[in-house]
Structure 1
Amino acid sequence: MTDKKIIVAVDGYSSCGKSSMARTLAKNIGYIYVDTGAMYRGVTLFALREELITPSGEILEAELESRLSSLSLTFDRQEGYEEPVLHLNGSCVEQDIRTMQVASHVSPIAALPFVREFLTRQQQALGQAKGIVMDGRDIGTAVFPEAEMKVFVTADPRVRAERRLAELRSKGDNSISLEEVLKNLQERDYIDTHRPVAPLRQAEDAVVLDNSHVSIAEQDLMLRFAFEAILAHLRGGQRG
């Protein structure tokens, strides 16, 4: 009998390694991976391009809400990438959504209730058939509170900032300092954990993984063990 497919929800702070972890797990267990953070970055990029965020940082909320219906976010294959990446209205934006400009505006955009409602509906549709690993800020608490496997990832803020800076450097951004990256992460943490709608928090039934000093191989081993344990439990319940 084929194992029952489940939903794996991976939540946590930005730049704590949860996306790499979720992506690796999905690949190893043959599940579909969905990066919901990329979806919020996609909306942010759209708002920036359409000048719906003023130079002072104010979001033109009414206009953004009225124009969401014209926004298409899909994960499609793209030359140069091993896995499907985010496309905004048919164009690949994987590199564009990873800039500090987008990072500095994404948390306020993600705090807007109509944006969360818009993307939550899409995320729930993607997970209807299960067999999915989805990472974000509220997957195990708001998008899929019934997910069979929930992981909450955390890491030391300075370690996260160092990882984020290394990522930016690898993409040719040499204009920003470690302290600036750390400040941005701390500001995003505050907004993400204090927003009134679906704030970032650990689900009561989530497994907590501190990723500060854990290797990729160790992360994968722990998650695979948890995944197999959950499937064994489900199989046992089916037999009973």
Structure 2
Amino acid sequence: MSRRLIVAIDGPAGAGKSTVARHLAAHFGLLNLETGAMYRAFALKAMRTHTSLDNAEALGRLAAGTSIGLEPTPSGNRVVLDGEDVTGQVREPEVTQAASKVSIHPTIRTWMVDLQRALGAAGGVVMEGRDIGTVVFPDADLKFFLDASPEARSQRRYEQSGGATAGEATPEAVLKELRERDQRDRNRAESPLRPAEDAILIDSTSLTLDQVLARIESIVQERVAARV
């Protein structure tokens, strides 16, 4: 086929999208396009330039002069913002929260979707985010929607952060923050979070990570074999 495989993975925060995307990219030789990292990179620039996260017009002007790239490495993607490696900075909690705020603006989402489409146009990619199967690549070869209860997702995030031993917020605070983010993502005017009509839904509330990976891997393998 002229275009290589495109796999879209959508779902709410903490559903395991990034973990699954990294696994599929490594296993099937795909490029992992982290849309969340791209939004966080732009949010980082907005914070650095003291641009209001609520000012869509100012953010649009900032985006016009912004370059964001992803460079694959054996240990994961390097996130490059205007030529600078910001991989470490974009993982900071305050940047993640800022990304959720800038992403609600239609101007920023339109700009980012164009950028994401350009990066994945040739295929051979796995892309995760909130609207990949519905907006960015509605013609993706495979679409997954990963979900889990808010309680399960927040507990996983708390444990991944090191919990109390790392001086992080309480489990209750993490759950509250996640519910607020869900509210923003599901109710924004532009590209609200929802599964594509032809997406394969996987609820991992009662599944282990290995079970989720095995299920998705087998589905992708079937599609890869069918294209040969």
TM-score using structure 2 length: 0.91
1:100 aligns with 2:99: no
Deviations 1:204-227 (A, max 9, x none): 100011122322322222112111
Displacement of 1:103 after TM fit?
A: 2.6
What is the SS of the residue equivalent to 1:16? Answer: coil
Does the 8 A contact of 2:15 with 2:147 survive in 1? yes
Q: 1: CA distance between counterparts of 2:147 and 2:159?
A: 18
Residue 54 (structure 2) aligns with = 59
Does the 8 A contact of 1:4 with 1:231 survive in 2? no
Stretches of structure 2 that go unaligned for 5 or more consecutive residues are none
What is the SS of the residue equivalent to 1:46? Answer: helix
1:71 aligns with 2:84: no
Q: 1: CA distance between counterparts of 2:160 and 2:107?
A: 31
What amino acid sits opposite 2:126 in the alignment?
V
What is the SS of the residue equivalent to 2:161? Answer: helix
Q: Percent identity?
A: 33
**CA distance 1:175–1:219, change in 2 (3 Å):** closer
Deviations 1:87-122 (A, max 9, x none): 222222222222221232222211101111111011
Displacement of 1:178 after TM fit?
A: 1.4
Residue 115 (structure 2) aligns with = 122
Deviations 1:21-65 (A, max 9, x none): 111011101111111011111111111111113xxxx52322221
Q: Which has the larger radius of gyration?
A: 1
Does the 8 A contact of 2:7 with 2:143 survive in 1? yes
Q: 2: CA distance between counterparts of 1:159 and 1:27?
A: 26
Question: Superposition pairs for residues 87-236 of structure 1, below 5 Å?
Answer: 87-169=80-162, 173-234=166-227
Residue 31 (structure 2) aligns with = 32
Deviates more, 1:136-145 or 1:152-161: 152-161
What is the SS of the residue equivalent to 1:85? Answer: strand
What is the SS of the residue equivalent to 1:199? Answer: coil
Stretches of structure 1 that go unaligned for 5 or more consecutive residues are 236-240
